[in-house]
Structure 1
Amino acid sequence: MATGTVLATAGSNSGGKSCCKSGPGYASPLAAMFGPREKLIYVTALYSGTGLEKPDYLATVDVDPNSPTYSSVIHRLKMPYIGDELHHTGWNSCSSCHGDAFADRRFLVLPGLISGRIYAIDTKTDPKAPSLYKVVEPKEILEKAGLAFPHTSHCLATGDMLVSCLGDKEGNAKGNGFLLLDSDFNVKSRWDKPGHSPMFGYDFWYQPRFNTMISTSWGAPKSFSKGFNLQHVADGLYGSHLHIYKWPEGEMKQIIDLGNTGLLPLEIRFLHDPSKDIGYVGSALSSNMIRFFRNSDDTWSHEARRVVISVKPLKVENWILPEMPGLITDFLISLDDRFFYFVNWLHGDIRQYNIEDPKNPVLTGQIWVGGLLQNGSPVKAVREDGSTYQFDVPQIKGKSLRGGPQMIQ
């Protein structure tokens, strides 16, 4: 996953008078669209499944077109341990703290999914060469919150950070919940109230104006940490639910079962407009995009009779199954709420849809950047007449793109 950091921010003024100092980020998503372009991005690089006993690292990539080192890795920060499996990343402070003049977006939060550690990375002292600030050890997290397998982190307006954890120390999903860290990465407590843990954990998104947080479902760590097994879905080791919480109290008030159209709902997003009470969730295994919304009685629903987008599986040869799902693993919504973009990890394409009519997205762009069906792969898609085909994938600086699009930022 890549996260961007702005090296220089544009000043603002009104009538020649300097405005009061504000906190990090922007006052609104639309304001962010007019901010300066990022000059650096930070990308996690990991060795899980490679057979190489090396520590994961954080790569700093130069994305300034005017720089002599443009489009290259200019620094690698190795983690102090082996076997972390860095996954999602987040910031210690963001636009949620824009009104706090003392807040500072300084630290990148790196949860180690398998090790249970959470790293705080200082990106402000030297943005081009970040350094390790602090390690939150799994023992402390277990002792104070009973949680393990940290995954997604989000900064809060209070200055705290909230981290979803996907299980207990044995890898059981029933032990999952949400970890609350203070501004200096000290473990405060478990956020969800006793008896209000989700069935499975993964991503989450909160909407303060509607006093709601919604979390999604991946699976039991003892299952996914050993590699995906389709039988485990039938065995109930993976989820298909959304969990609706009262924000910020941490009390679960509703569970939505997405059924077979929503197997493995991973990433979730509300529209950026804070007055809109609708959003989308991407179902990985079912390869569907599902719209959810608030009802007049303050409960939440999803469109059960239809999904707004369904990616059809492709007939294939030379693969483990006769049909290959797209496997939607991530998506994002443009800051003006006009488009969303999602990735099909296995098929290898990124799609753009116009969502100005949220109930009826329209495909407006598509590009293949990897996946299992690119030219030269042994795996081929099969047409109805039995002929086969593959997709052209562009080269970047003379190098072929390997793997598939899994996260976007």
Structure 2
Amino acid sequence: MTRWTPDPTFYPSPREAVTAPAEKLAYLAAFDRTASRPDAIVVLDTDPDSPDYGRVVGWTDLPHPGDELHHFGWNACSSALCPTAPHPHVERRYLIVPGLRSSRIHVLDTQPDPRQPKVVKVIGPEELAKRAGYSRPHTVHCGPDGIYLSALGGADGAEGPGGIAILDHTTFEVRGAWEADRGPQFLAYDVWWHLTQDVLVTSEWGTPSMIEDGIIGELLLDRRYGHAIHFWDLAKRRHVQRVDLGDAYQMPLELRPAHDPSKSYGFVGVVISVEDLSASIWLWHRDRDAWAVTKVIDIPAEPADPTGLPDLLKPFGAVPPLVTDIDLSVDDRFLYVSCWGTGELRQYDVTDPLHPVQTGSVHLGGIVRRTAHPAAPDEALAGGPQMVEVSRDGRRVYVSNSLYGAWDDQFYPDGVGAWLAKLDVDVDAGGLTPDVRFFPHGEEFRGLRVHQTRLQGGDASSDSYCFP
């Protein structure tokens, strides 16, 4: 685990990270909705010069069924070079893979053969509960002083509060809860930061009972899901400010701060407005000595014949976009927005973050459209662009189609299938084009659904930088 020189995949600044070599492999979380067999980490060849390009080249089953793998991450990344808490000799080697339903945390070693990662440790739900007071681990981020793991639930069956657990970089032991003073924060989801400004940001979804069986219509219409983001003093681990987006804007989920550490803004995606089923993107930014949020993108719902809609949507006669993931390119230029309901991935130029300009769009799947991929033009697709990952150089975007088992079943009741698409980016003018050579789908995933992708060597949502 100890190196004498920094890992070559670590970069001190986003400007240098953009020059990184292209990824050769992608790691993909795959899960069994029936919980009757183990979930898996699937390895795909992303080298266009390889005879196995676009194919599954590695497969690691986890030890137990029933995990429902969700958002996983690396044990270490470029934040290890930050001067405030330097750990330059750790390696980007281990994948930290939480099970959202089981509360187990898996550690997979990608060495010596990156195509065949091995499970080297499993942290049981009892340890997470005892040491940190949390359950339902959700999102992993590699920080300069440890591994940050957000969790939705409390220990011993408690609904909350959810929060952040810290794992050790090298032993992977659960150190404890991160919060010293959580203030009014109760609901949890994502966590990220402005490292050089000692600012941590968290978002909100719901407690385990609010999410594990799908969206509960009564709670949604009563505006009971999360609708705020929270700002914290990163060094003191204390809550500083709660910023409410308004209770009509339910479920602000993914946080994407600017990669340039000299900038003080970031984007958060809101799944749905209960007033008109639209989705939206908000910008957080400084307002004198406080933080503020401004809505910068509105995406309306699309009218539809109720007979072609799932039961949850029939009364509304419309398809909500359901923005369930966003990603920001490392150069802070393009924001990618997944509209899982309408089956669209949108690209926006956010050079001026207060005034985004749409520069690209690709349709795949969708509740009504079921748009086929050009590699398989006769196959109607279920699901839609969901988890989105951008390569470090910004030239490639990967999208997978499953959101969360219970939500899949509600919005795609006839089955969501499994597919991963790669889109090529015009980095000069903007725009997206599906790669017809890269479309693993169907039986290639052995009956499992696919969720998050991580790229070998790092990607746009794995690393943080301390130098501009």
TM-score (norm 1): 0.86
Code of the residue aligned with 2:46 in structure 1: it is V
Q: Which residue of 2 aligns with 1:26?
A: 11
- Note the C-alpha offset of 1:394: 2.9
Q: 1:163 to 1:106 in 2, by over 3 A?
A: same
Structure with the greater alpha carbon radius of gyration: 1
Q: What letter matches 1:355 in structure 2?
A: V
Mapped pair 1:72 → 2:67: no
CA contact (8 A) 1:337 1:356 kept: yes
Moved more, 131-140 or 98-107: 98-107
Aligned residue among 332, 348, 353 for 1:358: 353
Partner amino acid, structure 2, of 1:300: W
Shift of 1:164: 0.5
What corresponds to 1:246 in structure 2?
233
Q: For residue 146 of structure 1, report the CA deviation from its aligned partner.
A: 1.3
Partner AA of 2:303 in structure 1 = K
Of 196, 216, 234, which residue of structure 2 is paired with 1:209? 196
- Looking at structure 2, the residues matched to 235 and 244 of structure 1 have their Cα atoms a distance apart, in angstroms, of 25
How many Å separate the matches in 2 of 1:315 and 1:58? 38
Tell me how far apart the structure 1 counterparts of residues 157 and 222 of structure 2 sit (CA, whole Å): 16
CA contact (8 A) 2:134 2:162 kept: yes
Q: How does 1:296-315 map to 2 (within 5 A)?
A: 296-297=288-289, 299-303=290-294, 307-315=295-303
Q: Secondary structure, in 3 states, of the residue corresponding to 2:388? A: coil
CA distance in 2, matches of 1:195, 1:357: 33
Query: 1:11 maps to which residue?
Result: none
Select which of 384, 391, 410 maps to 1:404.
384
Q: Deviations over 1:379-399 (max 9, x none)?
A: xxxxxxxxxxxx554335986
* Contact 1:25 1:95 (8 Å CA) reproduced: yes
1:37 aligns with 2:22: yes
Relative distance call for 1:109 and 1:397 in structure 2 (3 A) is farther
Letter in 2 for 1:272: H
Q: Is 1:109–2:105 an aligned residue pair?
A: no
CA shift, 1:238, in A, is 1.3
Q: How many angstroms apart in 2 are the aligned matches of 1:256 and 1:234? A: 21
Q: Does residue 136 of structure 1 match 2:123?
A: yes
Does residue 340 of structure 1 match 2:328? no
**What is the distance in 2 between the residues matched to 1:195 and 1:275?**
26
- Cα 1:261–1:233 change in 2 (3 A) is closer
User: Aligned to 2:46, which of 55, 63, 71?
Assistant: 63
Is residue 394 from structure 1 mapped to residue 363 from structure 2 by the alignment? no
CA distance in 1 between counterparts of 2:377 and 2:35 reads 26
* Shift in alpha-carbon separation, 1:351–1:171, aligned structure 2, 3 A: farther
Equivalent residue, structure 1, for 2:179? 192
Mapped partners of 2:376, 2:120: distance in 1: 34
Determine the C-alpha separation between the residues in 2 that align with 1:205 and 1:257. 18
1:400 deviates by: 5.4
For residue 359 of structure 1, what is the amino acid of its counterpart?
A: L
Question: Is contact 1:61–1:72 with CA below 8 Å preserved after alignment?
Answer: yes
State the distance in 1 between where 2:297 and 2:223 align: 25
- Cα displacement (A) at 1:156: 1.2
Structure 1's 52 and 134: CA in aligned 2 closer, same or farther, altered over 3 A? closer
Relative to structure 1, is the Cα distance of residues 398 and 170 closer, same or farther in structure 2, using a 3 angstrom cutoff? farther
Deviation at 1:230, TM superposition (A): 1.9
2: distance between equivalents of 1:169 and 1:118?
Answer: 15
3-state SS in 1 of match to 2:65: coil
Following the alignment from structure 1 to structure 2, what is the Cα–Cα distance between the partners of residues 64 and 398?
Answer: 27
CA contact (8 A) 2:103 2:125 kept: yes
Superposition pairs for residues 260-271 of structure 1, below 5 Å? Answer: 260=247, 262-271=249-258
Given the alignment, which residue of 127, 139, 143 partners 1:156?
A: 143
- Alignment partner, residue 17 of structure 1: none
2:163 is the counterpart of 1:177? yes
Contact kept in structure 2, 1:394 and 1:401, CA below 8 Å: no
Structure 1 residues 33 and 291, CA gap change in structure 2 (3 angstroms):
same
State which of 156, 159, 166 in structure 1 corresponds to 2:152. 166
Other structure's SS at 2:164 match = strand
State the distance in 1 between where 2:43 and 2:272 align: 32
Deviation at 1:401, TM superposition (A): 4.0
Whole-Å Cα distance in 1 between the matches of residues 221 and 249 of structure 2? 14
Report the RMSD for the aligned CA atoms in angstroms. 1.9
Map of 1:382 onto structure 2: none
Aligned residue identity for 1:175:
P
Contact 1:219/1:238 (CA < 8 Å) preserved in 2? yes
Aligned residue number for residue 388 of structure 1:
none
Alignment partners' CA distance in 2, 1:141 and 1:102: 27
CA contact (8 A) 1:284 1:327 kept: yes
Greater RCO, 1 or 2 (C-alpha within 8 Å, sep 6+): 2
Point out where structure 2 has 5 or more consecutive residues left out of the alignment.
274-278, 390-468
Give the drift of 1:194: 4.7
The one-letter amino acid paired with 1:38 is E
CA contact (8 A) 2:161 2:188 kept: no
Query: What residue ranges of structure 1 are gaps of 5+ in the alignment?
Result: 1-19, 376-390
Paired residue secondary structure (1:56): strand
Structure 1's consecutive aligned runs of 4 or more residues displaced over 6 angstroms after TM superposition are: none
Q: 2:285 matched to 1:290?
A: no
Counterpart of 1:95, as a letter, is S
CA drift of 1:198 comes to 2.4
Q: What one-letter code is carried by the residue in structure 1 that aligns with 2:375?
A: Q
Task: Give the Å deviation of 1:171.
Answer: 5.6
User: What is the SS of the residue equivalent to 1:370?
Assistant: coil
Report the Cα offset of residue 285 of structure 1: 1.7
Distance, in Å, in 2 between the alignment partners of 1:261 and 1:281 is 15
Q: Structure 1 400/59 Cα, relative in aligned 2: closer, same or farther at 3 Å?
A: farther
Indicate conservation of the 8 Å contact 2:373/2:379, yes or no: no
